[in-house]
Structure 1
């Protein structure tokens, strides 16, 4: 009997180890979907405004790549700069039309690829993405015409979690999070139902516990029909955030089409928040 119990215990142990190893192996593949160069839309010859190809270094020695796009709608005053932290899939070229549209509203945009995406070196992970955002922030501030008091941090989806972390750690003028989840734990619980997979996942991206430490004006944007990150995530983030804050729910929008469904109204709302910090 004892021998049988030992055998059963051994099988359970091996199975448990296999589950842990399997989850840890699949974790990164379930969270990050980078598309490296040359896939994408890299021809910038017809891009509106002035576009500068940029490379900069992270503290751990990786070279990252980005675009610094200057708005053609320039007045006498230096325009605000938007630091665009994109989502977990593709690369910066897949946000090309979004960036181009933002330029029309009098804002410069700096978008870059995290480690492992596009032309950037390395392999993505949570701490790495936080380090990448810090490096991008410092690179931007090395430009004489970029002032942290006119720097708006924008994060979409997973990029919203990176944006919250950055705004918590570095001065900025305002923060925008769009289609962003509360935490990987919450997302995992929703994806796997009652299975306790979240206990095995090391990645946190726990914006819900951090957003209350951000003390700049906040705009939270979410599609009402988001099938990837349910709108309740955005509502919970908004509820946990400090004032002043604004909520913008886009009726009928899913996860990746907020600015398309919202149309010109979307860009007007974002522009108004950037330039004035108020509701329409």
Structure 2
């Protein structure tokens, strides 16, 4: 009887070890597949059809092209903010905008026009591989391109370097935070963004060190002394509002405004969002 019990115990331990090995192997295969496929998941440009450029002259938008090497280039748009008297060289704020990972700069013409009407110039740089831009997307390349375009625009006489604002939506918040580590802005607007891409990856059981584009918004927000406006929908199921609440707690000078909305439909009340942005710009002297 004792031998039978010992045999059963040994068999049970062997089964447990077998299951443990299967779980480990399964997890490694799962994490490996996500590692290989991550750029298609994080940057789903294959899901966005290429479109012809809109008639930018009708909006007063200037089209720019940024050389990224190897004979490739990315598209950028610049629009001057309106000023009283129409002096083209009058100093005005500049906002740099970055869109979500399933969008194009073409989707944000109205945002550029809204900033124009607030007297704020705007710059948008397309992500590599998106729309009419060459290359393959990734954190380093996209931030390189945005920094290069920004440096060119900062040389313009109408740009007030002391009133430089970054506005990033969703993954664009990561792009803007990463840009802030290179060229410090006066203030930042993070819309429906996250604490870090690593934090998002944890939801899927993937360790952050496997990410090609880690986007450490949390680190940047903690170290940024300027004002930060956080905008988020309370019903966001893609990037839960808790991310912005955590960023608000980390910020030295942060303002969080929540709205009844999800992720892809934020903002449901666009007029309210622009009122909030204008009020924040005025209150912060930007």
TM-score normalised by structure 2 residue count: 0.80
**Which residue does 2:273 correspond to in 1?**
266
1:121 aligns with 2:134: yes
1:236 aligns with 2:243: no
**Cα deviation digits, residues 124-161 of structure 1 (max 9, x gap):** 11222221222222122132222321221111111101
**Which residue does 2:7 correspond to in 1?**
none
Distance of aligned partners of 1:85 and 1:45 in 2 relative to their CA distance in 1, 3 Å threshold? closer
C-alpha distance in 1 between matches for 2:147 and 2:121: 19
**Which residue does 1:22 correspond to in 2?**
33
| Equivalent residues of 1:168, 1:213 under 8 A apart | no
The counterpart of 2:261, out of the listed 253, 258, 266, is 253
Q: What is the DSSP-based 3-state SS (H/G/I as helix, E as strand, rest coil) of the residue aligned with 1:135?
A: helix
C-alpha distance in 2 between matches for 1:198 and 1:136: 29
1:142 aligns with 2:170: no
Q: What is the DSSP-based 3-state SS (H/G/I as helix, E as strand, rest coil) of the residue aligned with 1:89?
A: coil
**Which residue does 2:9 correspond to in 1?**
none
| Equivalent residues of 1:84, 1:155 under 8 A apart | yes
**Which residue does 1:39 correspond to in 2?**
50
Deviation of the 1:235 alpha carbon = 0.6
1:152 aligns with 2:165: yes
| Equivalent residues of 1:37, 1:119 under 8 A apart | no
**Structure of higher CA gyration radius:** 2
Moved more, 175-184 or 64-73: 64-73
Deviation of the 1:207 alpha carbon = 1.1
C-alpha distance in 2 between matches for 1:18 and 1:65: 38
Stretches of structure 2 that go unaligned for 5 or more consecutive residues are 1-17
Stretches of structure 1 that go unaligned for 5 or more consecutive residues are 1-7
C-alpha distance in 2 between matches for 1:105 and 1:118: 28
Moved more, 154-163 or 200-209: 200-209
Deviation of the 1:220 alpha carbon = 0.9
Deviation of the 1:41 alpha carbon = 6.2
1:1-280 superposed matches below 5 A: 18-34=29-45, 39-40=50-51, 42-44=53-55, 47-48=58-59, 50-58=60-68, 62-72=72-82, 74=84, 77-190=90-203, 192=204, 195-196=205-206, 198=208, 200-243=210-253, 245-250=254-259, 252-259=260-267, 261-277=268-284
Distance of aligned partners of 1:127 and 1:216 in 2 relative to their CA distance in 1, 3 Å threshold? same
Q: What is the DSSP-based 3-state SS (H/G/I as helix, E as strand, rest coil) of the residue aligned with 2:261?
A: coil
C-alpha distance in 2 between matches for 1:248 and 1:161: 19
C-alpha distance in 2 between matches for 1:148 and 1:135: 15
How many residues end up aligned between the 2 structures?
Answer: 267
Distance of aligned partners of 1:149 and 1:35 in 2 relative to their CA distance in 1, 3 Å threshold? farther
Deviation of the 1:113 alpha carbon = 0.2
